[in-house]
Amino acid sequence: MTARKYLVLAGVTFFAATGDSLLSRGMKDLGNVSLRRIPDMLLAITDPYVATGILLLLAFFACYMTALSWADLTYVLPATSLGYVLVALIGKFLLHEDVSAARWLGISLISMGVGFVAGGPSRTDTRKQDPAHECVPEPVSSRMQT
């Protein structure tokens, strides 16, 4: 795997963890909101923490789509789940949340599982074995021109 692909996976992990943490921080400042009161939801977006969290989550989504364009979901999701460790650390030390021993154990199990998945291939070869029946998809750029 290339350095660029590692950077994209790191971006997915960082942007998701940081965006979720900022969103959490902002919503704790604002208090309860309800879908029944749309003006409250719109007001929440104007909070600097919430707005920055949303922007970082948009960056996460862009990196996530990029990663899924070259790797299987079953590779990308576990490879980026180290974000759970980052979220727990941010929650504990920056948001001053109580992270129980059971949560740390769960995060440790997730981290060990990532180690198992990371050793496998990033993409499943879905092409037919027989070249006479091989189906090669048309490039996206040529589909968009029609």
> Where in the chain are the domains?
3-145
- Residue 145 confidence (pLDDT): 55
Instruction: Per residue of the chain (146 residues), give pLDDT as tens.
Output: 689 988 999 999 999 999 999 999 999 998 888 888 888 888 899 999 999 999 999 999 999 999 999 998 888 888 888 898 899 999 999 999 999 999 999 988 888 887 777 667 778 876 544 444 444 455 555 555 55
Give the DSSP letter of residue 123.
S
DSSP code of 53?
H
Q: List C-alpha distances in Å: 43 to 20, 22, 49.
A: 18, 16, 12
Say how far apart CA 71 and CA 63 lie, in whole Å: 12
User: Side chain identity at 79, as an amino acid letter?
Assistant: A
pTM for the predicted model, two decimal places: 0.77
For 24, list phi and psi in degrees, rounded to 5.
Answer: -60, -45
Is the CB of residue 88 less than 8 Å from the CB of residue 107? Answer: yes
Dihedral sign computed on CA atoms, order 43, 49, 53, 55: positive
State residue 119 phi and psi, 5-degree precision. Answer: -75, -15
Structure confidence at residue 92 (pLDDT): 95
pLDDT score for 98: 95
What pLDDT score was predicted for residue 144? 56
pLDDT of residue 130: 47
